[in-house]
Amino acid sequence: MIVKILCISSSPRRHGNSETLLDWFIEAASKHESAECEKIVLSDYDINPCRGCNACEKKGKCLISDDFIGIIDKVLAADIVVFAAPIYCVGVCAQAKAFIDRVQVLRSRKDV
């Protein structure tokens, strides 16, 4: 049985510490025959911040049209999601925060 692992790097700095740690995880996981890893670097995508419109609560989907829609489909298809985020000023970076805020669309779905 293949285990689909989605690895998400949220760092705005390519090949920084967070992404390097994620790459080490991918290298180790890839040694297992049953593991299938896919890496996504959020800085390569256009992900807008949540508008707080609550359309996701009412309609079950986010109305913002950007690259997040394709990424969330991959999250739903994965068996495991690994999320790497640097900590800046006692919090995650803006890219991680935008992604986390937008994932709230899953909270209102009945199929998740």
Helices H / strands E in the chain, number of each: 4, 5
**20 near 71, Cβ under 8 Å?**
no
Strand partners, 85: none
Where would I find the beta strands (DSSP E) of 1-112? 3-9, 35-41, 80-84, 87-88, 91-92
Both tokens of residue 6?
């989605």
Q: Does the structural domain 3-106 have CATH classification 3.90.1010.10?
A: no
| pTM of full prediction above 0.95 | no
Domain ranges of the chain: 3-106
Instruction: For Cα atoms 92, 23, 48, give the angle at the middle one, nearest 5 degrees.
Output: 40
Instruction: For Cα atoms 83, 20, 104, give the angle at the middle one, nearest 5 degrees.
Output: 15
pLDDT of residue 96: 96
- Please report, in tens digits, the pLDDT of each residue of the chain (112 residues total): 999 999 999 999 999 999 999 999 999 999 999 999 999 999 999 999 999 999 988 888 889 999 999 999 999 999 999 999 999 998 999 999 999 999 988 887 766 5
